[in-house]
Amino acid sequence: MSNGVIKKSHLIPRTTGGWILLIYILFCYLMTQWPVLKAVNKAVPFILGMPFVYAWLTFWYIMIVIGAILAAWKVWKP
């Protein structure tokens, strides 16, 4: 911070859309982690021939990829 200039971090979203997408991606990521995954792993049904936990993880990872594509398309403008 020289001459009273404050540098903004590239890690913090600058727009409302950026914040929404950040929260969305973090939520999707948290749905694939231990506390939720432990509860989901107890389900028995098969979806498209996959155990439920594999279908669950596949769904949420696809949702993360969709969120990243939306972020690149809508928020990160040149």
Residue 53: inside a domain, yes or no? Answer: yes
Read off the pLDDT of residues 24-77 as tens digits, 9 standing for 90 and up. Answer: 999 999 999 999 999 999 988 999 999 999 999 999 999 999 999 988 888 776
Burial of 13 (0-12, 13-18, 19+ CB in 10 A): middle
Per-residue pLDDT, 78: 61
Residue 56: inside a domain, yes or no? Answer: yes
Residue 7: inside a domain, yes or no? Answer: no
Q: What Rg do the C-alpha atoms of the chain give, in angstroms?
A: 18
Kindly report the pTM of this predicted structure. 0.80
State how many domains the chain has.
Answer: 1
Domain that holds residue 62: 25-75
**What would the two tokens of residue 11 be?**
């890690």
CA distances from 43 to 11, 17, 23 (A): 37, 35, 27
Residue 17: inside a domain, yes or no? Answer: no
